[in-house]
């Protein structure tokens, strides 16, 4: 059974985001980039399923410019067998990304597609759902537990009321949540082996995908700075201050 896992290159979660002076976006030059944390969880789960004998091959896929190859090499170090790089410079709309990922899934004839539930750069949380709709396949989002039994996959997912368990026919789309697992630390031998694993480059044109018209970011602004706190001496002063701000 083949499993496809998408990985996205994003600004590292430890980096403090800075907005460009002209408001055209956030600063990425000279900033540490890494694999989207939710995608790390998806890759870790694929590797664990392979270790259990549920999956025979793991294929990592990403969309983006030349620098995204580094993210794919990280995925290969995690345990992916090979990688597919859909090369495209510039911003990519979620629908365009979903169309490309769906095309790769069909091309590879995979049975399971694991994605992080969202990317931390835009928090859109829509690519996985779009892929499922384009492929007309069952989907289970926000997975906190995954198990495969033959041609069925059972997914426990987090919902507002607690936990919900779904059983889907394979092939299927699954997006991963934080509590699914804890990604392993990469070892130097695995990083070195990843350099020799196959990595295929492919274009939108070869996949038959046309970039979809979508949203255009007009301006990016930083959140308003937190105002200085006010000290009060008594409860009465506190009540008066809250009433003055219309909070009571």
- What CA–CA distances, in Å, run from 25 to 54, 88, 94, 125, 183? 42, 19, 17, 20, 30
Confidence at residue 170, expressed as pLDDT on a 0 to 100 scale: 95
Coil, strand or helix at 221: coil
Q: What pLDDT, in 10s, does the model give residues 155-201?
A: 999 888 889 999 999 999 999 999 899 999 988 998 999 999 999 99
pLDDT band at 224 (very low <50, low <70, confident <90, very high): confident
Give residue 120's pLDDT: 87
- pLDDT over 80 at 15, yes or no: yes
- Helix H or strand E segment including 244: helix 235-244
The residues pairing with 3 across neighbouring beta strands, listed in sequence order, are 58, 112
Task: Read off the tokens for 94.
Answer: 């979620």
At residue 61, the pLDDT reads 95
- Residue 234's contacts (CB-CB under 8 Å, 6 or more residues apart) are none
- Which sequence spans correspond to the domains of the chain? 2-244
Packing angle, helices 94-108 and 127-135, rounded to 10 = 50
Mean pLDDT of the chain: 90
Q: Tens digits of per-residue pLDDT, 16-53?
A: 888 888 887 788 888 888 999 999 999 999 999 999 99
Q: Residue 83: what pLDDT?
A: 95
Residues 198 and 164: beta-carbon distance below 8 Å: no
Tell me, what's the pLDDT at 39?
Answer: 95
Tokens 């025979």, residue located: 56
Q: What is the mean pLDDT of residues 204-211?
A: 86
Q: Token pair of 41, please? A: 């969880």
Does the pLDDT at position 242 exceed 90?
no
Tokens read off for 103: 């095309």
pLDDT of amino acid 50: 95
Q: Which CATH number fits domain 2-244: 3.90.1150.180, 3.30.70.380, 3.40.50.620, 3.20.20.140?
A: 3.40.50.620
pLDDT tens by residue, 57-92: 999 999 988 889 999 999 999 999 999 999 988 778
Task: Quickly list DSSP for 149-206.
Answer: ETTEEEEEEEETTEEEEEEEESSEEEEE-GGG--PPPPPHHHHHHHTTS-EEEEEHHH
Supply 219's token pair: 């301006």
As given in the structure block, the two tokens for residue 50 are 């392979």
Query: Over 80: is that where the pLDDT of 135 sits?
Result: yes
The DSSP code sequence of 35-90 is E-HHHHHHHHHHHHHHHTTS-SEEEEEEEESGGGHHHHHHHHHHT-SEEEEEE--S
Minimum mean pLDDT among 136-140, 144-148, 168-172, 229-233: which range? 229-233
Q: What's the mean pLDDT in 138-145? A: 93
Packed helices 37-51 and 69-78: angle between N→C axes, nearest 10 degrees? 30
**Cβ atoms < 10 Å from Cβ of 239:** 13
């Amino acid at each position: 059974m083949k499993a496809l896992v998408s990985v996205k290159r994003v600004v590292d979660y430890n980096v403090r985001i800075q907005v460009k002076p002209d408001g055209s976006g956030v600063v990425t030059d000279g900033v540490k980039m890494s694999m989207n944390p939710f995608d790390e969880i998806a890759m870790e789960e694929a590797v664990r399923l392979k270790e259990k004998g549920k999956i025979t091959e793991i294929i990592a896929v990403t969309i983006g410019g030349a620098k995204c190859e580094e993210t794919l090499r990280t995925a290969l170090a995690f345990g992916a067998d090979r990688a597919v790089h859909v090369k495209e410079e510039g911003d990519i709309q979620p629908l365009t990304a979903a169309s490309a990922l769906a095309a790769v899934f069909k091309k590879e004839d995979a049975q399971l597609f694991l994605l992080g539930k969202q990317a931390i750069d835009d928090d859109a949380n829509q690519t996985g759902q779009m892929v499922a709709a384009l492929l007309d396949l069952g989907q289970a989002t926000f997975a906190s537990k995954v198990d495969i039994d033959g041609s069925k996959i059972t997914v426990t997912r987090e919902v507002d009321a607690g936990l919900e368990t779904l059983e889907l026919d394979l092939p299927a789309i699954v997006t991963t949540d934080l509590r699914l697992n804890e990604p392993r630390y990469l070892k130097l031998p695995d990083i070195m082996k990843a350099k020799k694993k196959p990595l295929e480059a492919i274009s939108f044109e070869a996949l038959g995908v046309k970039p979809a018209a979508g949203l255009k970011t007009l301006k990016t602004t930083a959140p308003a700075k937190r105002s200085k706190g006010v000290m009060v001496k008594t409860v009465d002063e506190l009540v008066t201050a809250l009433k003055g701000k219309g909070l009571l």
